[in-house]
Amino acid sequence: MKVQNKVIIVTGGGSGMGRALVLNLLSKEAKVIAIDINETSLQETVALAENKKESITTFVVDITNKTSVEKLLIDALAAFGYVDGIINNAGIIQPFIKVNALSYDTIERVMNINFYGTLYMTKTFLPHLLTRPEAHIVNISSMGGFLPVPGQTVYGASKAAVKLLTEGLHSELMNTNVKVSVVFPGAVNTNITKNSGINTPQSSAKEAKSMKILSAAKAAQIIIDGMENNQYHILVGKDASLMDFFYRLNPQRAANSLLKKCRGY
């Protein structure tokens, strides 16, 4: 689906990759509804829109609250009259610790934002999207959604759930006007760690410096290009593409390879 003149919702649009997605869509003449839980961050995104400000509307929404998401549908239709697509980008990571040390509160928070937030948005907007001439759902999973990252096991589980949810939707909606894509970003330069309230372990920080981390703007370009080309899987970054190939070739060796890189997390 070409995004020009379409109304697209982006969750987590106040910062990081979400902000980059908003700005990329605006540059392609789309109308954007940016939502985030942080009002200040949303207004910073609006300020960066410059001469495209008339094409962006913002709402402060907690996507883990089903009632708030249902209200967003009403507000979005009041603002533009219709919605053509949603990009479920909002997400957080977990503390860099093993499952045995994670509290249930933390586990539930990760699952509620990453999986249930995506599910609530999808189920709430899907009936409307099915009425549009063409529409698109883009869900952001992660490289950690198909490859186990030590110290991020529950985060990976939440993103694996997003992966299977999205692939299932793709099959269910095959003969409809609604296209579906799932995105697997590798290392992208965003503030997800800070927004998650997490301190990066020293080993992970050193590893990050040795990697070629993709800019949020470049990641957004890849995602929107994939959306416009109706890609089934959108792999963002050479690391994601390489590990996708390696994991499909030999899952255990791929997992062990990543484990060696993450020693001391």
Side-by-side strand order, sheet with 85-88 = 56-60, 31-36, 7-11, 85-88, 135-140, 178-185, 233-236
Residues 110-124: tens digit of each pLDDT = 999 999 999 999 999
> What confidence tier does 225 reach under pLDDT thresholds 50, 70, 90?
very high
Q: Is 104 a catalytic residue?
A: no
Nearest to 145 by CA among 19, 261, 236, 228: 236
Does residue 190 or residue 171 have the better pLDDT? 171
Question: Is the pLDDT score of 57 beyond 80?
Answer: yes
Instruction: Give how far Cα 248 sits from Cα of 159, 199, 254, Å.
Output: 17, 31, 9
Question: How many residues are given for the chain?
Answer: 265
Q: What is the structure's pLDDT at 77?
A: 98
Residues 146-164: tens digit of each pLDDT = 999 999 999 999 999 999 9
> What confidence tier does 173 reach under pLDDT thresholds 50, 70, 90?
very high
Question: Is the pLDDT score of 244 beyond 60?
Answer: yes
Identify any residues that bridge with 86 across adjacent strands, giving them in sequence order: 9, 137
Q: How many Å apart are CA 229 and CA 50, to the nearest integer?
A: 28
Question: Is the pLDDT score of 196 beyond 90?
Answer: no
- Region of 4 (left: φ > 0; alpha: ψ -120 to 50; beta: rest) is beta
Identify any residues that bridge with 79 across adjacent strands, giving them in sequence order: none
Nearest to 186 by CA among 150, 155, 211, 209: 211
Question: Is the pLDDT score of 236 beyond 50?
Answer: yes
φ, ψ of residue 242 to 5 degrees: the values are: -65, -45
The pTM is what? 0.92
Domain boundaries along the sequence of the chain:
7-261
| H or E element in which residue 10 lies | strand 7-11
Q: What is the mean pLDDT of the segment spanning 6-14? A: 98
Two structure tokens written together for 55: 């094409």
Exactly one of 82, 104, 116, 155 is catalytic; which is it? Answer: 155
Q: What is the mean pLDDT of the segment spanning 167-186? A: 97
Q: How many Å apart are CA 180 and CA 232, to the nearest integer?
A: 7
Which CATH number is 7-261 given? Answer: 3.40.50.720
